Amino acid sequence: MHISEGMLPVPVLVAGAAVAAAGTYVGIRRLGPAQVPQVGLVAAFLFVASLVHVPLPGTSAHLVLNGLAGLLLGWAAFPAFLVALLLQAQLFLFGGLTTLGVNTANMALPAVLCHFAFRRAVLRDGAVGIGAAFATGALAILLAALMTGLCLLTVNWRFAVFGLVAHAPIMVTEGLICVFAVAFVRKTKPELLAREA
C-alpha cells in the first residue's frame, strides 16, 4: 500500500504531509514517558509485519496492522507509522521521502479513527467484543485502501480500483489477527486497550 516516489501531484503530497504532521504532533503531545517503549515496540512490529507479503496475481499485498496499532496507541499511531515507514523507505525503498507524509496519513488516520470507534467495544465479552476486534482490523485496512485509492485517482483510476481489490484478502486476514491479538491482550494486559489515547 506504499505509494512510490514521483507518482502523485504536489498538492496531494502537501495535503498528505500536512495531515501526517498534524497527527504526529497530536500523537507526540499526548504521549507520556511511560508509553514511549510501547510506541517503539509497535513501530518495530509494524516495520516487520509489512515484510510479510501475500502473493496476488500480478502483484502482492502485505500486512499493515493499522487497526491493532490504533487500538493500542490511539494518536500515537502517527509517530509509530512515521518511524516505521521512514525506515522502510530508506532500507527497502518502500515508498519514499516525498510520499512519506501521504503514506503515513493513509495508514495512521484509519488507525486513529478505529481506535475511537471500537476501543470500548473490544473490551466487551462475547460476540460484541469479537466482532468489534474483527471490524477494527478489517475496517482500518479498508479505509487505508480507500485513502490510498483516492490519492491514486489523481494518477490512474485503474490503480485505485486494483489496489482496493488487492487488499480484500488482507482485510479478512487482519480482522482475524486483530481478534486473536485483542483476546491475548485482554488476558495479559487489558489496560493497554482501556486507555484512551
Residue 114 has pLDDT above 90, yes or no: yes
Mapped onto helix, strand or coil, the DSSP state of residue 54 is: strand
Q: What is the mean pLDDT of the chain?
A: 87
Phi-psi label, residue 3: left if phi above 0, alpha if psi -120 to 50, beta otherwise: beta
pLDDT of residue 112: 96
CB 88 within 8 A of CB 94: yes
Question: Looking at the 3D structure of the chain, how many domains does it have?
Answer: 1
Highest mean pLDDT among 50-54, 172-176, 192-196: 172-176
Q: Measured on CA atoms in the order 129, 133, 135, 136, is the torsion positive or negative?
A: positive
Long-range contacts of 36-41 (CB under 8 A, 24+ apart): 38/72, 38/73, 38/192, 39/73, 39/76, 39/79, 39/80
pLDDT in tens, 50-99: 777 666 555 567 788 999 999 999 999 999 999 999 998 888 777 778 89
Distance CA 87, CA 94 (A): 9
pLDDT of residue 56: 59
Host domain of residue 166:
10-194
Q: Indicate the pLDDT class of residue 169, thresholds 50, 70 and 90.
A: confident
Residue 2 lies in a domain: no
Which CATH number do you get for residue 188?
1.10.1760.20
Residue 5 lies in a domain: no
Residue 3 lies in a domain: no
Q: What is the mean pLDDT of residues 172-184?
A: 93
CA nearest 64: which of 102, 103, 23? 103
Residue 168 lies in a domain: yes
